[in-house]
Amino acid sequence: MMRIGIGYDVHKLVVGRALIIGGVNIPYEKGLLGHSDADVLVHAIMDSILGALALGDIGEHFPDNDDQYKDISSLILLERVYNIMKEAKYRVGNIDATIIAQKPKMSPYIGNMRENIARVLKAPLSSINIKATTTERLGFEGRGEGISAQSICLLISDS
């Protein structure tokens, strides 16, 4: 049996925070505001996996009013989602994700992002695709107010 899920996340860019996307610390004058490390890409991927499993979203599993998740690495949360997926007897078929940001350029970091996500999800690198796009200066991403990410995943049953 196969299942698909879609995920979306957005965070505001602010001064005084690190910019972490796909588990990669990207040098930039601003970072993403959030309870955890605010990794929009990993959050979108987690939501797509949980959606495929019909198990809600990351807010239900990792509430932003719970201090144990304050400033936590989203890769740790992704590992917990992996364990939920494994317990449900599924594995990643593939993930296709898009980062939407006017700045900074993501292309130099995408390889490391893919490696981080593939490692945590114990998936072949060839099954993880990440792309980045701008909005041609339109919308909140285009004005540099925030960054968003979208993800779709295919899960394959191991049973």
Would the annotation count 57 as a binding residue? yes
Q: Which of 18, 78, 26 is nearest to 48 (CA)?
A: 78
Contact by Cβ (8 Å): 8, 43? no
Is 11 annotated to bind a ligand? Reply is yes
98 is known to lie in a ligand binding site: no
Q: 129 among the known binding-site residues? A: no
The DSSP bridge partners found for residue 5 are: 153
Q: What's at 118, amino acid-wise?
A: A
61 labeled binding residue:
no
62 among annotated binding-site residues:
yes
Question: Any known ligand binding at 136?
Answer: yes
Is residue 158 a known part of a binding site?
A: no
Please indicate if the annotation marks 6 as binding a ligand: no
Q: Per the annotation, does 27 bind a ligand?
A: no
Q: Is the peptide bond before 104 cis (omega within 30 degrees of 0)?
A: yes
**Was 58 annotated as part of a binding site?**
yes
37 is in an annotated binding site: no
144 is in an annotated binding site: no
Do the annotations mark residue 116 as ligand-binding? no
| Measured distance CA(14)–CA(135) in Å, rounded | 19
56 a known binding residue?
no
State the Cα–Cα distance between residues 44 and 36, nearest whole angstrom. Answer: 14
User: Is 148 labelled as part of a ligand binding site?
Assistant: no
Binding residues for a divalent metal cation, by number, are: 9, 11, 43
Binding residues, by number, are: 9-11, 35-36, 43, 57-59, 62-66, 133-136, 140, 143
